[in-house]
């Protein structure tokens, strides 16, 4: 079942042509609701088309010989040029330490960004435009004024540990099961901005209300119909346009539609933000293949979540480990 890697490569943009053997075998639909009156926030712009941002980067960033540590140094320099009021320093090959003008400290993790551009020397600057939006992370985005932008996210233990240990403004998270957590982000044009515990305390909504608002916002982000691909109807991949696939686990109607279509329980993997892979929970061979691919995809993904397999049992999320014996 190595064909799964080929399909994932196409869905994530690493392969240009759609694999001929794969077809849409069914569709999943989120229950979209209209946005409540008065909740629309002010429009924001996306910096991805702003060519002037390229000037902040040294030409060295396009070098085929560029290494990760030097990339992080160049990234710190570019952020510093764009945002001179605050201080950006490369602290090691993975991190940039940020000190705001009023003395607050934070950090930026560069590894995921490096993974996205490492293999495209000569073409990096356009891909890095939105990265410079991180210079705006010191700007206050009020959750209360951006309730239409909050969405639920799926996070792995590594990310939660990093945020807990490295970030001064502690993000909100809630454990779903071993190695999988719920958190929230503001879905901004240039980046996902994590929502902190303090943000939630000050937004004027209860956690229960906020979860429902976030799920409704996520539904509006998804395509009208979410395609599910397969070649052999044993391993399946969801394609929701990128960025949101792994977050669909928070939408009960989507999970129920998969179960109804397969006519049985299913196991799934979300090794990265844009990946939702699944198979029937009673198909031993498919489970082993899914587990193997999930670990490989997690290891190499630019936005990793978890290498594990998960199932819903009586509505409760559980992690599982498959043995070859």
| β-strand pairing of 309-313 with 23-28 | unpaired
175: alpha, beta or left? (left if phi > 0; alpha if psi -120 to 50): beta
State pTM to two decimals: 0.77
**Residue with structure tokens 């454990």?**
175
**Residue with structure tokens 């958190």?**
183
Return the SS3 of 172.
coil
- At 245 the pLDDT is 93
- At 132 the pLDDT is 76
CA distance linking residue 18 with residue 152, whole number of Å: 30
Q: What is the pLDDT of residues 126-146, one digit of tens each?
A: 888 877 765 555 455 788 888
DSSP output for 265-282: -EEEE--BTT--EEEETT
Q: What is the pLDDT of residues 280-322, one digit of tens each?
A: 999 999 999 999 999 988 988 878 899 999 999 888 899 998 8
Residue 78 Cα distances to 55, 83, 142, angstroms: 9, 9, 26
- At 77 the pLDDT is 94
Average pLDDT of the chain is 84
Provide the token pair at 55.
Answer: 């000037």
Residue 117 Cα distances to 59, 62, 77, 91, angstroms: 14, 10, 17, 20
Closest CA to 132 of 171, 83, 94: 83
Closest CA to 252 of 177, 303, 174, 314: 314
CA distance linking residue 80 with residue 137, whole number of Å: 13
Residuewise pLDDT in 10s, the chain (325 residues): 444 555 566 555 555 455 557 788 999 998 877 666 555 565 555 555 678 889 999 999 999 999 989 999 999 999 999 889 889 899 877 778 878 777 766 667 787 788 778 888 999 998 888 777 655 554 557 888 889 999 999 999 988 887 777 665 578 999 999 899 999 998 876 668 888 888 899 999 999 999 999 999 999 989 889 999 988 889 999 988 778 999 999 999 999 999 999 999 999 999 998 899 999 999 999 999 999 999 988 988 878 899 999 999 888 899 998 887 6
């Amino acid at each position: 079942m190595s064909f799964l890697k080929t399909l994932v490569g196409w869905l994530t943009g690493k392969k240009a042509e759609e694999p001929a053997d794969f077809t849409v075998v069914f569709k999943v639909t989120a229950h979209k609701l209209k946005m409540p009156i008065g909740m629309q926030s002010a429009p924001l712009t996306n910096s991805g088309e702003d060519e002037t941002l390229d000037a902040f980067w040294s030409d060295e960033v396009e070098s085929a010989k560029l290494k990760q540590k030097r990339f992080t140094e160049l990234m710190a320099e570019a952020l510093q040029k764009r945002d001179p009021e605050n201080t950006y320093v490369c602290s090691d090959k993975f991190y940039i330490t940020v000190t705001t003008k009023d003395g607050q400290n934070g950090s930026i993790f560069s590894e995921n960004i490096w993974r996205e551009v490492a293999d495209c020397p000569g073409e990096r600057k356009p891909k890095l435009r939105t990265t410079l939006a991180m210079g705006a992370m010191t700007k206050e985005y009020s959750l209360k004024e951006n309730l239409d932008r909050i969405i639920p996210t799926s996070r792995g233990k590594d990310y939660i540990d990093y945020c807990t240990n490295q970030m001064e403004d502690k993000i909100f998270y809630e454990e779903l099961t071993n190695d999988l957590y719920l958190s929230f982000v503001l879905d901004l044009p240039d980046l996902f901005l994590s929502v902190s515990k303090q943000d939630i305390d000050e937004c004027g909504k209860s956690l229960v209300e906020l979860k429902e608002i976030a799920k409704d916002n996520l539904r509006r982000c998804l395509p009208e119909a979410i395609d599910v691909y397969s070649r052999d109807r044993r391993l399946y991949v969801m394609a929701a346009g990128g960025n949101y696939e792994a977050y669909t686990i928070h939408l009960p109607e989507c999970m129920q539609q998969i179960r109804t279509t397969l006519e049985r329980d299913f196991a799934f993997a979300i090794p990265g933000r844009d990946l939702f892979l699944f198979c029937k929970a009673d198909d031993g061979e498919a489970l082993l293949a899914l587990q193997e691919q999930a670990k490989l995809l997690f290891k190499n993904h630019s936005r990793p979540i978890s290498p594990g397999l998960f199932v819903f049992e009586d509505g409760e999320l559980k992690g599982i480990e498959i043995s070859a014996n």
